Amino acid sequence: MAGASPHFLVFANEKGGTGKSTTAVHSAVALAAQGRRVAALDLDTRQRTLGRYLDNRQATMARRDVALPMPAYATFDPARERLDAVIERLSDGIDVLVIDTPGRDDPDARAAMIRADTLVTPINDSFVDLDLIGEVDAETYRVRRPSFYAELVWSSRTQRAKAHGMSVDWVVLRNRMQHIEARNMRRVGEALAELSRRVGFRVIPGLHERVIYRELFPKGLTLLDLNEIGQIGQIGIAHVAARQELREMIAGFALPEPGAEAAPRQAALAG
């Protein structure tokens, strides 16, 4: 529908090292591979991981003369353009806009969170990362209270509801899960389940810790590019398993089909 806004898929976490940017870029490429019209915006003006990843992907496509699923993308430069302007430019004719925010509290990150239709917070599967969204009792492992970040998300959701009359689907992504320490994993899972009921988010499995992701970055490849990966090295069971994890994660986001939410959104904005 002409003039319809894209679905804003925002990746936000104030803690680094959770695989946020890797997850964001894989999501953008996976959604483009589904045939959706996708754009990606990197708001991390320091590390610029998503932007550099897609730069590398574009270079690989040119060097190897291959066509790969590729979102339109931009790396935000506040010295050149306002955030609203770059979002408006990228949103034209797009089904999904993927935004990767900095791993810190940042005014532009907060602005992106307010726009989010689906807000994804990746965390490592540990109590260290769980502390970002909820404080846990040292003896019982029960959640004592939500953290500052959970309150920040609540505030963003409230502002969005007041401004547009629309809700935000908050998804906590359990990234870098290990196949060991089952007892600790179970305790983290129980604490997340308790906190999700109190704060209001969904929990889905993300991507396991794998060396593969670090190896793919220089060429900008993703787990969906097995043909290209096969030309630079052997494809193993780990590649296939990781690709399935990626597909299950994308399905877990439960994004609407293109155009499915355009009418409700425009009605909400008009009202």
pLDDT tens track for 168-213: 999 999 886 655 556 677 888 888 888 888 888 999 998 886 677 8
Q: Report domain extents, the chain.
A: 7-265
User: For the whole model, what pTM was predicted?
Assistant: 0.88
The predicted model gives 118-127 an average pLDDT of 87
Q: If we measure between CA atoms, which residue out of 240, 180, 177, 170 comes closest to residue 206? A: 177
Average confidence score pLDDT of the chain: 86
Q: Give the CA angle between residues 147, 150, 152 to the nearest 5°.
A: 110
Burial of 144 (C-beta count, 10 Å sphere; 0-12/13-18/19+): exposed
Q: Token pair of 113, please? A: 């969170």
* pLDDT value at 229 more than 60: yes
Residue 34: φ, ψ to 5° = -75, -5
- Cα(207)–Cα(203) distance, rounded to whole angstroms? 13
In this prediction, residue 233 carries a pLDDT of 66
* pLDDT value at 91 more than 60: yes
The predicted model gives 21-29 an average pLDDT of 95
Looking at 59-63, 119-123, 239-243, which range is the least confident one?
239-243
The predicted model gives 13-38 an average pLDDT of 92
In this prediction, residue 34 carries a pLDDT of 96
How is 1-18 classified by DSSP, letter by letter? -TTPPPEEEEE--SSSSS
What is residue 179's DSSP assignment? S
Percent of the chain with pLDDT over 70: 89
In this prediction, residue 176 carries a pLDDT of 67
- Give the CATH fold of the 7-265 domain: Rossmann fold (3.40.50)
